[in-house]
Structure 1
Amino acid sequence: MSETICTQLLRYGPARTACTWCGATRRRRAHLVAGPGVNICSDCVELVIVIMQEDGYRPPDR
């Protein structure tokens, strides 16, 4: 059975509390998304969005 995102966050979230990209801790950032071996803070997510937009990425219509 595949795990849901919530299950993954519960499993991996508490173990590591720093952003893999910038090293910010959960205490210093509003949000930290945890995954299997990697984490990303809300600031880095915003940076990734800007980089992708500059490269011409447009999200698909829903």
Structure 2
Amino acid sequence: MKLKKTDYVLECTFDGGYYAWLTVNMQCNAYGDSPEEAVDNLQQTMEELINETYMMEDFN
């Protein structure tokens, strides 16, 4: 699933980096040196979270 701009919030940090998180789950978040890197990292984090969730369902 590819993230759309309405799926996440992106903010500049005090050190010049960028912090992104999902609008539906602030605990799914990522950091990057550029806005693109932060969103790419968020995409990876979200995919890992989804995969772990499905693995837990299969295990139960």
Larger Rg over CA atoms: 1
**Same fold by TM-score greater than 0.5:** no
TM-score range (shorter-chain normalised) is 0.3 to 0.5
Which structure: greater strand fraction? 2
Structure 2 length as normaliser, TM-score? 0.40
